Structure 1
Amino acid sequence: MFQLTQYQYGSLSILFAAVLWGTTGTVASFAPNISPLAIGAFSMGVGGVIQACLAVRHFGLDVCRLRQHKANIVLSALALAIYPLTFYSSMQLAGVAIGTVISIASAPFFSVLLECLFSKHNMVSRRWLMSLVIGLIGIALLVFSEPSAEAHTTLNSREVGVMLGLLAGLTYAGYSWGAKAMISDGVRSQSAMGIIFGLGAMLLLPTLVFTGDNLFSSVTNILVVSYMALVPMCLGYIAFGFGLRYVKASNANVLTLFEPVVAAALAVIVVGEFIPVLGWIGIVLIMVCLLLQAKG
């Protein structure tokens, strides 16, 4: 009987997380009067609180190891808090397509850089490089096949958006690497993700004082933000943390390139957007990238 390896179990878990994350853009489109910053802060903040609560019973078992990672925890939580703010701001300034792609596609590069600088096992395989190149080409085809970013987006704001997207990729890679470092040192994935997300939530939720208008102004808005917090940001990151037990952060971040594929498919099916042939070729290349990664 066919049996999956631990790496494949981890890869499937991360792909599941990417599927959930790929729904966020479509779901957020049902609440256009909520600030993207508020959606990011609320969903990641509330999701972080839930993860921390679910991990409470594990904290006591890992307290000694967690104390050895104090600096790592603080830096990872700070990266987590910065990530949604820069990610959603990047989409707002550079356009949804460009902001999303820059943020997601840059994360694997930053992950490898962190692993090469700080990890003992820092060799980058040819398979990883080949899959990443194929995936990035696919992402580029998917983006450039779409109509250009909104006409009102100015060149200067787009440049700022691209820079924020790169910062989002760096911070995403940062807290992914931080969580993986703790898990590799024997910390349970629930404890690692719970402590990072719990502290990150403490930094994110206060920003809603300035950005949280209209969060609960209608039933639709309540359903949107509740879904964002409970499903992609809570369940998705629990699955991502489980996957990090068996998959390196750099491989994990390449696997998350599946997110824009899901987002594009939902845009066609739910929102009614059109993707030309070039975009579908890009999606096929991304799938090839994922198949190469799944083989380990």
Structure 2
Amino acid sequence: MTPAVWALVASCVLWGTTGTAASFLPEAVSPLAVGASTMTLGGALLFAVSHRAALGVIRDRAVRGWLIAAALGMVAYPLSFYASMDLAGVAIGNVVSLGSGPLFAALLEWRVSGSRLTRRWMLSAGIALTGMTLLVVGGHGDDSPVDAASIPAGVALGLVAGAGYALFTFASGIVIRRGHSGRGTMGAAFGLAALPLALVLIVVGAPLLASASSVAIAVYLAVGPMFLAYLFFAVGVRALASSTVTVITLLEPLVATLLAVLIVGERLEPLGWIGLVLILAGVTVLSSARQPRSRA
């Protein structure tokens, strides 16, 4: 594997620990607070270590629209991602959020770059959507800590997270390919996203400060899965297409699912496992089969 692929693998392993780490927070801590704190602290760190390059990206009017789009994607992603895991469970929240990413990434490439969606692509998308439906219908059993009634809302928020992630990946990739460094682009996008999320943190973040363990978990989520993981991510996204990136990041829901079952105690029904496998298989075939062609 190339260094870019190894960098993405490292980021996926770090991302895969987010749900399990967040599950140890007290119930009083809102998932919005977790998402906002992770992005605010991690975004500030990313901006700090790359402030010169990040400011150069921000000042470049030619890419400012795409930079703002990437930042908006990163505002939506952490809030809906952690809320999805809170409602649907770590396994389902991760799989839907990341599994839907390639669908939205391909749609963006189709609408913006003129990539053609083939029949094989549509079949693959149908397989993935069928898997998501199975997860909603028969995801968790009675012995699982997840309330089955909250799964549909969690899946819907996971789709929002997937759209936000795809927007960030697509837009930041354009900024990087137009001559800016990966670190500068990450620092600029995350720094801008941290501003509105800091306001969310001020409103709902008080319970995070109630105990030292909560603060420690929040710091880990900001430094590990956010700061370090996205430095690795910047290496990968510079060299790979956005649809390829979203396929490789399917390692994250696999890691997250294993941790959810082994550590958190979640139990998926057979129908849920089938749905999970269909999502991963459908999305993998989706991106490997799609042959984008530019109108130009």
Tell me if both proteins adopt one fold, taking TM over 0.5 as the criterion.
yes
Change (3 A) 1:292 1:79: closer
Map 1:83-98 onto structure 2 (within 5 A).
Answer: 83-98=77-92
For 1:129 and 1:240, locate their aligned partners in 2 and report how far apart those are by CA, in whole Å.
28
User: Can you list the C-alpha shifts for 1:138-189, whole angstroms capped at 9, x where unaligned?
Assistant: 88888856426767553xx544433322221111100111100111111111
Q: 1:63: how far off?
A: 6.4
Q: 1:283: how far off?
A: 6.5
**1:52 lines up with 2:76 in the alignment:** no
**1:173 lines up with 2:166 in the alignment:** yes
Q: 1:26 maps to what in 2?
A: 20
Q: 2:292 maps to what in 1?
A: none
Aligned AA (2:40)? G
Change (3 A) 1:127 1:160: closer
Q: 1:115 maps to what in 2?
A: 109
For 2:167 and 2:280, locate their aligned partners in 1 and report how far apart those are by CA, in whole Å.
23
Change (3 A) 1:60 1:184: same
Q: 1:29: how far off?
A: 1.6
Percent identical pairs in the alignment equals 37
User: What is the CA RMSD across the aligned residues, in angstroms?
Assistant: 3.5
- Comparing 91-100 with 253-262, greater Cα deviation is found at 91-100
- Indicate if the aligned counterparts of 1:258 and 1:287 stay in contact, CA closer than 8 A: no
For 1:126 and 1:14, locate their aligned partners in 2 and report how far apart those are by CA, in whole Å.
29
Aligned length: 286
Q: 1:264: how far off?
A: 2.0
- Indicate if the aligned counterparts of 2:91 and 2:256 stay in contact, CA closer than 8 A: no
Please point out which of 67, 70, 76 is paired with 1:73.
Answer: 67
**1:147 lines up with 2:179 in the alignment:** no
Map 1:1-296 onto structure 2 (within 5 A).
Answer: 4=1, 8-33=2-27, 34-59=29-54, 66-119=60-113, 122=115, 146-147=140-141, 152-154=147-149, 158-273=151-266, 279=273, 286=280
Q: 1:23: how far off?
A: 0.2
For 2:259 and 2:10, locate their aligned partners in 1 and report how far apart those are by CA, in whole Å.
15
For 1:281 and 1:169, locate their aligned partners in 2 and report how far apart those are by CA, in whole Å.
17
Q: 1:258: how far off?
A: 1.1
For 2:203 and 2:35, locate their aligned partners in 1 and report how far apart those are by CA, in whole Å.
13
For 1:193 and 1:128, locate their aligned partners in 2 and report how far apart those are by CA, in whole Å.
30
Instruction: Return 5+ residue gaps in structure 2 as ranges.
Output: 289-296
Change (3 A) 1:131 1:190: farther
Q: 1:77: how far off?
A: 1.1
Q: 1:133: how far off?
A: 8.0
Instruction: Return 5+ residue gaps in structure 1 as ranges.
Output: none
- Comparing 230-239 with 256-265, greater Cα deviation is found at 256-265
SS of 1:214 mapped into structure 2: helix
- Comparing 261-270 with 284-293, greater Cα deviation is found at 284-293
Change (3 A) 1:136 1:182: same
Change (3 A) 1:63 1:84: closer
